Amino acid sequence: MPSLMDLIDDIMRTLDLKGSLYFRTHFTAPWAVTVPAYGQAARFHLVVQGTCYVAVEGKSPICLGPGDMALIPKGSQHVLSASGATQAPQLESVLQDAAYDGKGVLVVGEGAPNAATQMVCGHFNFRPQAEHPLLSSLPDLVHLRVADRPAEPWLDDTLRLITRRMFANELGASATVTRLSEIVFIEILRSNLVESDALRSIVAGMQDRQISGALSAMHNDPAEDWTLERLATLAGMSRSRFSDRFTQLMGVSAMAYLANWRLQKSLEMLDQNQFSIQEVSNRAGYQSAAAFSRAFSARFDISPKAYRAQTAS
């Protein structure tokens, strides 16, 4: 049976997952900051010392303690605070007032060091137009509690290593934390700690003995002339039973999944700039460059040629 991690790794590589660390904090109460919306990104805040409230619009604030992590998968605007505030100065003005130059620790307030809230904050970027059921199934806010982490030792160990590296002030610590944060995002997707029935269903589909075989086939060879009948045969199921089970677990039909995956692979190939439009069309499973251009333009509102020129500029 194909590995769950192999499938997730392929998806994240195709969607161009990249971690980015944007600051360490030393916030002393009273403090609050509004983190603006950020498209195609998932922001995270890992508390090392103290407490931090996180408020996403339309949701009740949650309180993070030492070792807790908040993930805002869809890059929504949110407020970080010492008190559960839902309104606060914008991050840009807080950075200006603190004369923060993007290096070292962001210091806000002048209270006792042992009373400060210390965090590691960063985000995960994806390619513009990146799309997959794994991403869309994530809720607006994920709260990973330190008490739950031992159930996922890989995730727990990685978050502990991030904390040690980031606060050791060693050469190259930021680069290491950036790479480790990418592992954290993948481990979060794989874990059973996210309160999302949709995500659990998709992960179950990727682990299902029959459905995972069809998924692996589409991922390994998107250019193949896959039909519902062929995928069902590969899964060892009847056409109707396979179609129903795939849709139930993955949230989309098998053929819709295939169509979207081919377009995501085409985005990756266009960004790499190694193949002609015709070659990208063939490798993505389209019968002609014209058919590929129509499908690409209909989904992304830009032609493959224009997209390549735009990303190359």
pLDDT at 188 over 70: yes
Distances (CA, A) of 165 to 42, 62, 161, 239, 283: 22, 26, 6, 51, 41
Pairing of strands 105-108, 52-56: unpaired
Average pLDDT over residues 179-186: 93
Which CATH number is 4-194's, of 3.40.630.30, 1.10.8.590, 2.60.40.3880, 2.60.120.10? 2.60.120.10
How far is it, in rounded angstroms, from Cα 17 to Cα 263? 17
Task: Supply the pLDDT for residue 215.
Answer: 97
Q: What is the pLDDT of residues 220-249, one digit of tens each?
A: 999 999 999 999 999 999 999 999 999 999
- Break the chain into its structural domains and give their ranges: 4-194, 208-312
> In a 3-state reduction of DSSP, which class is residue 196?
coil
Residue that the structure tokens 């869809």 belong to: 74
How far is it, in rounded angstroms, from Cα 247 to Cα 258? 12
Task: Supply the pLDDT for residue 58.
Answer: 84
Task: Supply the pLDDT for residue 168.
Answer: 76
How far is it, in rounded angstroms, from Cα 183 to Cα 199? 18
Q: What tokens appear for 250 in the block?
A: 């993955």
Q: pLDDT confidence of 171, banded at 50, 70, 90? A: low
Average pLDDT of the chain to the nearest whole number: 93
pLDDT at 217 over 80: yes
Task: Supply the pLDDT for residue 2.
Answer: 60
Average pLDDT over residues 2-21: 91
Q: What is the pLDDT of residues 268-309, one digit of tens each?
A: 999 998 899 999 999 999 999 999 999 999 999 999 999 999
| Contacts with 130 (C-beta within 8 Å, 6 or more apart), sequence order | 15, 16, 40, 264, 267
With a pLDDT cut of 90, the percent of the chain lying above it is: 82
Residue type, 1: M
Task: Supply the pLDDT for residue 1.
Answer: 54
pLDDT at 170 over 90: no
pLDDT at 11 over 60: yes
Average pLDDT over residues 205-210: 95
Q: What is the pLDDT of residues 12-45, one digit of tens each?
A: 999 999 998 888 999 999 999 999 998 888 999 9
Q: pLDDT confidence of 63, banded at 50, 70, 90? A: very high
What's the pTM? 0.90
Residue type, 271: D
Identify which has the larger pLDDT, 167 or 313.
Answer: 167
Q: How far apart are the first and last CA of the chain?
A: 42
Average pLDDT over residues 87-96: 95
Task: Supply the pLDDT for residue 115.
Answer: 85
Task: Supply the pLDDT for residue 275.
Answer: 93
Class of domain 208-312: mainly alpha
| Contacts with 302 (C-beta within 8 Å, 6 or more apart), sequence order | 296, 310
